[in-house]
Amino acid sequence: MSEEASIFRSLAVSLFAGTAVFVGLVLWLRILGRPWICPCGTVEIWNGGLTQEQNSQQFSDWYSGLHLIFGMALYGFVAAMAPRWPLAKRAVLAVLSSAAWEAMENTPLLIATFSRSPNSPDYFGDSILNASGDTLFVLAGFFVAAKLPARATVILAVALDLTIELVIGDGFVLGTLKLFRG
C-alpha cells in the first residue's frame, strides 16, 4: 500500500472515529436530559453575557476560549506522548478528550460543583449546541497548536486565559482549582 493510500485510510478511519465519538456524546447528553438549544428559544453563534438563562446555552461564549486552550494543551501533550501518530489520529484523541469532559461536566455532580462557586455565573449544564461548539473549539485549538510554534502557542494560551479571567472572573486555572476544591 502506498504512503498516500495509508494516509487516506488513516484520515478516513479517523474521521469516522471522531464522528462516532461525537454522536456518542450527543446521545449521552440527551440521556442526561440536556436540551438541544437554549431553553429560552434563542440560538446565537456568540453570547458574551453571563445571564442565567443563556450561560453555556449558545454555540459559543467566553468559556469557548477555555476550550481553545484545552485543545492547544492536548496537542502538546499528545505530540509529546505519541510523536509518531498521524495528526488525524491525534485529532481523534482530542475529540475523545473533549467528549469525555463534556459528558462529565454535564452530570448532576459537576453541575452542582460549578454552580456553587461564588465567582462564576449560575451554571445549569450545557445545551447540546454549546457542548458541540465546545468540542469544535477544542479541535480548533488543537489545530492552531499544530500550526504554531510551541512558544507562540503558550503565549496565546496564557493571553487568552488572562483575558477571560479579566472579563468574566473565571478561567482555565480558576476552573481547574474549583473542580479539585469541590
- What backbone torsions phi and psi does residue 60 show, to the nearest 5 degrees? -140, 155
**Cβ–Cβ under 8 Å, residues 60 and 47:** yes
Cβ neighbours of 93 (radius 10 Å): 21
How far is the C-alpha of 72 from the C-alpha of 161, rounded, in Å?
Answer: 12
- Give the per-residue pLDDT at 46: 96
**Cβ–Cβ under 8 Å, residues 134 and 58:** no
- Give the per-residue pLDDT at 55: 81
pLDDT digits (tens, 9 = 90+) for 13-68: 999 999 999 999 999 999 999 999 999 999 999 999 877 778 889 999 999 999 99
Q: Specify the pTM.
A: 0.88
How far is the C-alpha of 98 from the C-alpha of 50, rounded, in Å?
Answer: 22
